Amino acid sequence: MQKNTYELLTNKMGISPEVMEIINKAEAEVTDLFADLDDIMAFNQYKVLEAFQKNKISDMHFGWNTGYGYDDPGREAIERVYCDIFKTEAALVRPIIVNGTHALTLTLTGILRPGDELIYCTGAPYDTLEEVIGLRGEGKGSLKEFGITYKQVELTSEGNIDFNTLKNTISKNTRIITVQRATGYGWRKAITIDEIEEWASFVHQINPDIVCMVDNCYGEFLDIKEPTQVGADIIAGSLIKNPGGGLALTGGYIAGREALVQNIAYRMTSPGIGGECGLMFGQTRTMLQGLFLAPKAVNAAVKGAILCAQVFESLGYEVCPKATEKRSDIIEAVKLYTPEAMCAFAEGIQEAAPIDSHVKPVPWAMPGYDSEVIMAAGAFVQGSSIELSADGPLREPYIIYFQGGLTYEHSKFGVIKALQALYNKKILNSR
């Protein structure tokens, strides 16, 4: 770190020399890993640019309609761009999809019918999907309430898809098998593109009519390919995560085979209308500009996650994944062992934020979760996980999930402040 930056951080921003020494040592140990990440970023940047140019994106696409939103050129253009980036037949990219859970729910309810079976083959789904499936809560229009059955296949002890158990679990009623690419609130590595390709081929060999669905949240632009390029039939995700690039104000996307996307569109609006209606509310420009910047933002977030892993592992904490392991999402999990350490880490992240840095995060009963959740996120867009944030449910073994940072420098500062908060409270590695 250059002298001027070091002096700014230590003399004016309250960072102790001891913390800076830990950070600088860890950064020197992982810098060589960044070259491959930069190559992936460049590839995806040019892939996105090519899609914009192919679809002749122009200023006219930034306007917006009223009423039903018929023949909205911006909406049609952004969905063509997503099709080209993800190499799919069709896509829905809408601000009326409120989050990633909504995008996944639309996908499931748009395809599944009473009597069908859903299998998750990466263990338990993300917490907010439990009520959607019917694993928790009563009624509310869950899949269970509509007579859709659910099975779950755990990952192997090495964190891989258990193909033998999956084969034995598939039945004549199996309609969708889902991979959750990211770790969620679990303790496992993210599922890589190579693993997704092997899984999709395996499932389709057993029954080509089974829909291979990927929850792609946090995984976009981590590789030079996306799941739909290696056999996945349908993917879904959130625009306030990777593909929004920090500029999309809200929204979600679904992309895949045309027949599947059409059925999902009918669920999103109504049968007979599908994707032909729906206002963009003037969001097309920010959604497109965010998408254009997304490969660089994802690159910054991944570098920050690697630094976080190296720092905390060097101090004796368990981290997942380790700094040197291949990544398929932007999340870094750190076992902090105590609620006090977890809250301190979150406080440090909040203090590193450009927005609401003066606010102290506290655990709360967040809708859709069965435990209190602490969430630090001083973001320009509320809940934007591609911006610097950290969160997790307050339950043993007290794992914090660190992610985001629109620039590497900001992601790095989040690691610095989290470490400083633990240092100040004298609970650094208090296992």
* CB under 8 A, 24+ apart: contacts of 63-71: 63/284, 64/279, 64/280, 64/281, 64/282, 64/283, 64/284, 65/279, 65/280, 66/279, 67/279, 68/277, 69/277, 69/278, 69/279, 69/280, 70/276, 70/277
Residue 138 confidence (pLDDT) above 80: no
Place of tokens 């003066």: 358
Report whether 112 contacts 148 (CB < 8 A). Answer: yes
CATH topology agreement for domains 3-43+295-424 and 64-291: no
Peptide bond into 321 cis (omega under 30): yes
Domain segments of the chain: what residues? 3-43+295-424, 64-291
pLDDT digits (tens, 9 = 90+) for 330-386: 999 999 999 999 999 999 999 999 999 999 999 988 776 778 999 999 999 999 999
Q: Which CATH number applies to 64-291: 1.10.3720.10, 3.40.640.10, 3.40.605.10, 3.30.70.20? A: 3.40.640.10
Residue 1 confidence (pLDDT) above 80: no
Residue 430 confidence (pLDDT) above 70: no
Distance in Å from the first CA to the final CA of the chain: 31
**Region 7-17: what's the mean pLDDT?**
95
Mean confidence (pLDDT) of the chain = 96
pLDDT the model gives residue 184:
87
pLDDT the model gives residue 271:
96
pLDDT the model gives residue 368:
65
Closest by CA position to 129, among listed 372, 374, 369, 393: 369
Q: Provide, rounded to the nearest whole percent, the portion of the chain with pLDDT above 90.
A: 93
pLDDT digits (tens, 9 = 90+) for 146-179: 999 999 999 999 999 999 999 999 999 999 999 9
Residues 195 and 162: their CA atoms lie apart, in Å, by 11
pLDDT the model gives residue 370:
74
pLDDT the model gives residue 366:
73
- pLDDT band for 137, please (50, 70, 90 cuts): confident
Q: Which amino acid is at 241?
A: K
- pLDDT band for 71, please (50, 70, 90 cuts): confident
**Region 66-95: what's the mean pLDDT?**
96
- CATH class of the region 3-43+295-424: alpha beta
Quote the pTM value. Answer: 0.95
pLDDT the model gives residue 280:
96
